[in-house]
Amino acid sequence: MKNKLFYIIGFGVLMMFDTLTQISFKLASGHVGKFVMQPDWFVSVFQKPWIYGAVVGYLGGFVAWMTLLKHAPVGPAFAASHLEIVLVLLISQIYFGEKLGSMQILGAVCIVAGIVFLSLSESKSSND
């Protein structure tokens, strides 16, 4: 039970940091305009607070991921780390008004199903 709680909290924290990174990049890109390979553009990026949210998200995600990998089996951990893709899809639809196509929905369902199947197979093999 203690391990299960560790994984739930750990993957929740990882999802939170990964989602913060993606949303921060989205918000930062909306405030700096079209990419131009010039120093002024890069300076303007670092004048926006959202880019620092992305940096915090990357650093927090790295620490969470390294902590999880120390204890979790790699296969299911790698699969579960992709739950943030589904969360970002949902936030993008709700917060940014982006439309989800049938292939995006199918992809999200496949990600969740894959994680469920890997978790079931991992728990079954650990019980054997």
Task: Give the model's pLDDT for residue 30.
Answer: 78
Domain of residue 28 covers: 2-127
Q: How far is CA 12 from the centre of its chain?
A: 10
Q: What is the pLDDT of residue 63?
A: 93
Q: What is the pLDDT of residue 128?
A: 54
The model's pTM: 0.77
Domain count, the chain: 1
Residue 123: predicted pLDDT: 62
Q: Which two tokens stand for residue 24?
A: 């921060």
Contacts 24+ apart (CB under 8 A), 95-99: 95/23, 96/26
Q: Tell the residue number behind the tokens 């998200």, with chain if given.
A: 57
pLDDT band at 61 (very low <50, low <70, confident <90, very high): very high
CB proximity list for 59: less than 8 A, separation 6 or greater: none
Identify residue 26 by its one-letter amino acid code: K
Provide DSSP, 5-72: HHHHHHHHHHHHHHHHHHHHHHHHHHHH-S--SSHHHHHHHTTSHHHHHHHHHHHHHHHHHHHHHHHS
- The vertex-54 CA angle with 53 and 55, nearest 5°, equals 90
